[in-house]
Amino acid sequence: MRDIALVLIFAPMFFYAMRYLHTSTMLWVWTALAAPSSFLYGFAATLPLNKIAVGATVLAMVADRTKKKFVADGSFTFHTLLLLQSVISFGVGLTDIQRTYDLLDRMSKIFVLSCFMRIANRSRLAIHCMVIIFTLSVGLHGILEGFKYILSAGSHKVQASSVMGDNNSLALNVLMVLPFFFYLFQYTRSKLVGLGFLFLGVLGFVGVIATASRGGLIGIVVLAIMFIWQSKRKGLGILVVIVMAVTLVSLAPDKWVQRMDTIKTAENDDSFMSRVASWKMHTIMALDRPLTGGGFSALEDARVYNIYRPQFGILDFIPSEPPVGVLAAHSIYFEVLGDLGFSGLFLYLALLTSWMLNIHRTKVATKGDPEHAWAYDLAIAFQRSITVFLISGAALSMAYFEIIYVQLTMCSVLRRAVDELLLARARATASAEPRATPLVPAMAAYARH
């Protein structure tokens, strides 16, 4: 039944998407982030919805008359260089496991999507719609888990889908879109719909709790601090945080509290110390291959792991037990360092810095401007999202997830849209001002009379 329903919904979306680039990119983002096929079990489960969305985007590129000039900024430059670095590292990489091919394919598709998004319509409505799409697409996974968790009175055990990775990745993905539920609550014209977004955000928050992720708890704390710090009404911000804390404590089972308590004794926690061992191994591989790294997920290949395992002792000044098997990176920074080398890490950090600069410049340009308060508040939401990613991502292998690149591209689009709106207003103001008659021509006319 759900297969038929999806086809009936998707078909008109596809035909409409072919006409406008901004709608086709939204369809692409939805199929990539929500992964609707993962919720199906019939004939539609095998439909290549993402590839169909890509086809619609290519057709819309030709048909759409509303597309804009390409947004080429520092963010795009570093994104391009990072992709080139990825191709080089893949070409000279140490592994040929399937995951390395999958990650290069993902990075290539993300880059192409980013290019189309930079050309799409940059109106406030188009930006608002894209925010709705990526918020609900990622948030859906947390919302469903939160709903199941409440219905089961806390006994539901979360099993993240392959699209989200593991429970820790699911928690961080959902945390990265929670600030946008609040933004949509603020800027949705219908109060009822706005409350609906707020309710879905609460379910997503519960979904994060249900994952029992320690990284999720750290992300919640980061969001709470930023919410109070950036709130115009500190009292209301503190009240909201208190409600969140009470909700967390009341919904969290004892085993969740016990797991979170291990954060205080990280040096004695096997899970954390295995991360330290992984970080050391990825550093050792990067020291051996500083310009290219070992290639995507190289240390998940037993053959590569066995090459570098005997060198583990060169970083003995950092205490940890030796690793006992193939390793995931467990950190966005060490993941890129091991996969792409020091040069790749530099480009990745430069890309993240350009993301933050676009947010900062948007805030500076719109602060105190009632007409563009929506852009300022949206920049605040992006700032909260990237801050959670930078901190919680330090312990998770999430460097290549789509939501990161969708958001950094949208920050470029938002900044360019604000620049265009402010320039248009300045021109309109200038044209409306009365122009004084030049002094010399006026004196000449007086002399002729």
- Taking 70 as the threshold, does the pLDDT of residue 400 lie above it? yes
In eight-state DSSP terms, residue 362 is H
Considering only 85-89, 278-282, 373-377, which range has the smallest mean pLDDT? 278-282
pLDDT of residue 439: 47
Each residue's pLDDT tens digit, 8-19: 888 888 888 888
Each residue's pLDDT tens digit, 130-182: 999 999 999 999 999 889 888 887 777 877 777 777 888 899 999 999 999 99
Average pLDDT, the chain: 85
Each residue's pLDDT tens digit, 104-136: 999 999 999 999 999 998 899 999 999 999 999
CB 237, CB 227: distance < 8 Å: yes
- How far apart CA 153 and CA 244 sit, in angstroms, is 18
Share above pLDDT 90 across residues of the chain, in percent, rounded to a whole number = 46
More confident residue, 7 or 89: 89
CB 37, CB 44: distance < 8 Å: yes
> Model's pTM, two decimal places?
0.88
Sign of the dihedral defined by the CA atoms of residues 228, 230, 236, 240, in that order = negative
Conformation bin of residue 434: beta by default, left when phi > 0, alpha when psi is -120 to 50: beta
- Taking 90 as the threshold, does the pLDDT of residue 4 lie above it? no
In this structure, the chain runs to a length of: 449
What is the residue extent of each domain of the chain? 1-66, 75-119+273-417, 135-268
CB 202, CB 418: distance < 8 Å: no
pLDDT of residue 316: 75
- How far apart CA 341 and CA 288 sit, in angstroms, is 9
Q: What number is the average pLDDT over the span 53-59?
A: 92
pLDDT of residue 441: 52
Question: 3-class SS at 351?
Answer: helix
pLDDT of residue 140: 92
Instruction: Give how far Cα 111 sits from Cα of 79, 81, 116, 359, 408, Å.
Output: 7, 11, 9, 20, 11
- Taking 90 as the threshold, does the pLDDT of residue 270 lie above it? no
pLDDT of residue 150: 86
- How far apart CA 231 and CA 336 sit, in angstroms, is 34
- How far apart CA 294 and CA 97 sit, in angstroms, is 12
Predicted confidence band at 252 (pLDDT cuts at 50, 70, 90)? low
- How far apart CA 79 and CA 76 sit, in angstroms, is 5
- Taking 60 as the threshold, does the pLDDT of residue 278 lie above it? yes
Share above pLDDT 70 across residues of the chain, in percent, rounded to a whole number = 88
pLDDT of residue 113: 95
- How far apart CA 242 and CA 41 sit, in angstroms, is 41
Tokens describing residue 209: 């709790």
How many other C-beta atoms can be found within 10 angstroms of the C-beta atom of residue 43? 10
- Taking 80 as the threshold, does the pLDDT of residue 414 lie above it? yes
According to DSSP H, which parts of 231-320 are helical?
A: 234-251, 254-261, 270-288, 302-308
CB 384, CB 223: distance < 8 Å: yes
Sign of the dihedral defined by the CA atoms of residues 25, 112, 35, 143, in that order = negative
Each residue's pLDDT tens digit, 205-234: 888 888 878 888 888 888 888 887 777 766
Question: 3-class SS at 449?
Answer: coil
CB 89, CB 339: distance < 8 Å: yes
- How far apart CA 415 and CA 430 sit, in angstroms, is 23
What DSSP element (H or E) covers 28? helix 21-33
CB 366, CB 415: distance < 8 Å: no
pLDDT of residue 446: 40
pLDDT of residue 152: 84
Q: What number is the average pLDDT over the span 415-431?
A: 86
